[in-house]
Structure 1
């Protein structure tokens, strides 16, 4: 077998693995919350029973709730087609997005050559997308964010390749396909649609000034404009804005930016730390050219490293055994702090308990990240004196001017921030709305890691630690997500039987015990109990009962 065939086989194996993991998560994830509402003709109690019903329901949604026509059509169609078809389609969409992000990082279509970087792209997507279970597994959420990102990434790829190669990536034949794809890309998610229009218009103008403009470039921008008009001009947008945006001034919108970007930063922390190391490695290379020589340290653990590693292992054992560490810490703080301060109201206690439901996994995640970061810095020679030397000897503008990949990554990071800034017009800015911005940041990180200097330096000096850290974080989060998703599915099935039984017996209320699942697996699982308003309302309409009562927790 040739080297090229071997890499092709390994690349296909990586993609197959990503697809199978996502298929399993989707298979175990039941219909939930808004899925029941969208399984009915919008704002009625009538089940979608035909293709015509999917279109009619999307039309009613457009008039009464929002303008995301393309994603709602997809959601309605696959909910009607059946859950297993949806599971397959959703897993394929996630796999396609990983491939497209890698293409954008390469600025070419060459996926078969680097199976390792494909795997890294998949790992970044797994760790960094905010509220992963909500935006990439849950049906209603994934069609909004994941299913919008895929056509947008595909649409923007020819523009990116054209800028990189200096000549058109497509011929004249592409005018109509790019117009139609631009229409879909513009009719996606509000902030992403604005970014797409501005970006394609700016690239078209830039290439026009260079005398390299072809018809498909402005055609794509025109399609994006038409899609954006269809998206924001929906009558349903004004209905929803009246409900969500009433009484919110500009300060609330600015505050949303801090909240949304701040939460995004927590999710992309692995990317931030890797990019920070890479930035310093670029500086090290320039410092070497000036006669400076870094000192690389051996991989030796001191007592602090052994203590941190032991704490991580203890927390892992705790996580898979009822989170005994989290609840012990919770009890100590409750008795020693909450009670003396008089913070004993039930609502306060509920919020306090909710914090500790995710304590173990967050502690494992954060400790592992900083543990790996500290070791990698040491192996790369990025000691405190070395960093101080780099600050004095190498200026940021030198790095910017010398390395093209730094300029490309910088442009992607700036684009991500602008994409988030567009959300200042929205009444709310949940972290899931940063999905497309995080995709841009992942592209920037993969592009930097592909750079021969960075890749060679990391392989030579940090490969062991980075590999162990990636495998450790990946294995923990994946096993936790699979365990929690499977457990949640079992509990959900029991509850659905109770609801169906109540409906079959003509009872107006279904009674059930609260869910016992407490772990959240870093938000890779999205599930709330049936007494939640959104879930309860949709379920009741779907099964034809009036109410669901969850018994008080014992």
Structure 2
């Protein structure tokens, strides 16, 4: 009886911590969404599509989505959500978007567990949230900005919910839902298939493949093919939209197969920069699995106590200097920029205004990316040292333990490997698209997060890290989280103030009947690892939507960059 009471108390304690983690994630996203103003495409979607009429009713939201379907693209579900919440107002959208992100973190955690039980692991739930915060490419564009988040975040949530019963069924070997779920899964399948093009194709292939596999095992339930056929109908609705052909004619004309292949390298390459912490953690975990098998064969690993060398102290000093620089005008970045300009650019004659503009743009994110990469590799080197993974040991492990042995010995490795393969396939589907921006890897990164969390929550991996790298990992995680959070809040707040001042100028020009609004460029270009998405008012997309929304003809921004750098 006493043990049962202790278990109940511990379960309630974990539940409270889980709720605290989720409340923290929700509040963070709510603040970011509150600070993020309407921007770029948001103004176009606040109007009935390709008109100058403002959306003023629920009927207008449906009509606008219908026009968008005919004239621009097939993402009817996400566009309808965007139109509806833009009509309801910004605060309603802020709450809904924060809830969506919180729900995605929970769903990723469920997929990693392959279960909907979530009381026992508040730390792993927090790690899932941290991975989502750090790893989604162009976070501000895909999870905060309204027009972007409804496409990527709002597609990922119903898809993750839809696929969860399939995943749990595979894990448990028996149907996770009963016959009552046939109609709900069919309808949810339509929404999942009517999401984002590459994700929709992956969903259709995955659900039909799982249904076929379980049918051969004699374990298929009726909701499985129902959901698969629903997703197929959604995919047909998505790719069959007349607007897709209109947009493809604009974006894809003249692009051959080599351009599409090149897009794969660009998109996957940029994704790799964002998921670097996950890649290095998975690499450490892979070697831990090898260590475990090698030690069973009698190999003894010597693990030296953690001691900083002078090089590591120097690197830590550089990181701290960059942090100070970041919050004080990025003086390190601009010093490096000026030195390279004088020593390299001028002697080579690379002084054309457009070249200098691209060169300057490279250094606008120098401090933040340097902090991010240096911190990650700094922590990785320390953790490797604590685990005893020296170069000779790594070579010895490669000789004594084969990859096949690791694959066969650990179910978590097989599951993570399948998720990584699925992520690559999901990205490869984008070869059919005329462009492959990094934001389109959102759903693949979600799969990679699932793989990483599934491995990290395994007792063997958690035990090794707890014994040999826990403090370093915690310090690194807190350091990156605090830096990116504070930087994002500061930059987003500054951008909000800058935006509000310039919107006031546009409104004033419109009220006076002046056709053109004049303004200075926004001085702050810092984007905090792309957790902030903002483009100045002279950008074509931003300017066109604003002009239509406020009823003026043009916006003129002073482009004297050297003056405002």
Q: Structure 2 length as normaliser, TM-score? A: 0.98
Matched with 1:187 is 194
Matched with 1:68 is 75
Residue aligned with 2:469, SS:
helix
Matched with 1:387 is 394
Structure 2 counterpart of 1:351, from 319, 338, 358:
358
Q: CA deviation at 1:111?
A: 1.6
Counterparts of 1:297 and 1:162, CA distance in 2: 44
Q: CA deviation at 1:518?
A: 2.1
1:334-483 to 2 correspondences below 5 Å? 334-483=341-490
Does residue 176 in structure 1 map to residue 183 in structure 2? yes
Q: CA deviation at 1:552?
A: 2.6
Counterparts of 1:85 and 1:354, CA distance in 2: 35
Counterparts of 2:454 and 2:363, CA distance in 1: 37
Counterparts of 2:301 and 2:362, CA distance in 1: 43
Note the alpha carbon deviations across 1:323-354, whole angstroms, 9 max, x for none.
00000000000011101100000000000000
Counterparts of 2:171 and 2:308, CA distance in 1: 44
1:64-463 to 2 correspondences below 5 Å? 64-463=71-470
Does residue 49 in structure 1 map to residue 65 in structure 2? no
Counterparts of 2:466 and 2:550, CA distance in 1: 56
Q: CA deviation at 1:494?
A: 0.0
Counterparts of 1:513 and 1:112, CA distance in 2: 52
Counterparts of 2:406 and 2:500, CA distance in 1: 56
Counterparts of 2:310 and 2:220, CA distance in 1: 62
Q: CA deviation at 1:220?
A: 0.2
Residue aligned with 1:500, SS:
helix
Q: CA deviation at 1:52?
A: 0.3
Q: CA deviation at 1:362?
A: 0.3
Residue aligned with 1:510, SS:
strand
Matched with 1:550 is 557
Counterparts of 1:369 and 1:42, CA distance in 2: 44
Note the alpha carbon deviations across 1:196-227, whole angstroms, 9 max, x for none.
00000000000000111111000000000000
Residue aligned with 2:526, SS:
coil
Q: CA deviation at 1:487?
A: 0.3
Counterparts of 2:302 and 2:222, CA distance in 1: 54
Residue aligned with 2:347, SS:
coil
Residue aligned with 1:111, SS:
coil
Counterparts of 2:458 and 2:119, CA distance in 1: 17
Counterparts of 1:319 and 1:493, CA distance in 2: 24
Counterparts of 1:552 and 1:109, CA distance in 2: 54
Aligned structure 1 segments of 4 or more residues deviating by more than 4 angstroms: none
Counterparts of 2:11 and 2:467, CA distance in 1: 23
Contiguous gaps of at least 5 residues in structure 1:
none
CA RMSD in angstroms, aligned pairs only:
0.6
Q: CA deviation at 1:454?
A: 0.3
Residue aligned with 2:119, SS:
helix
Residue aligned with 1:511, SS:
strand
Counterparts of 2:441 and 2:304, CA distance in 1: 38
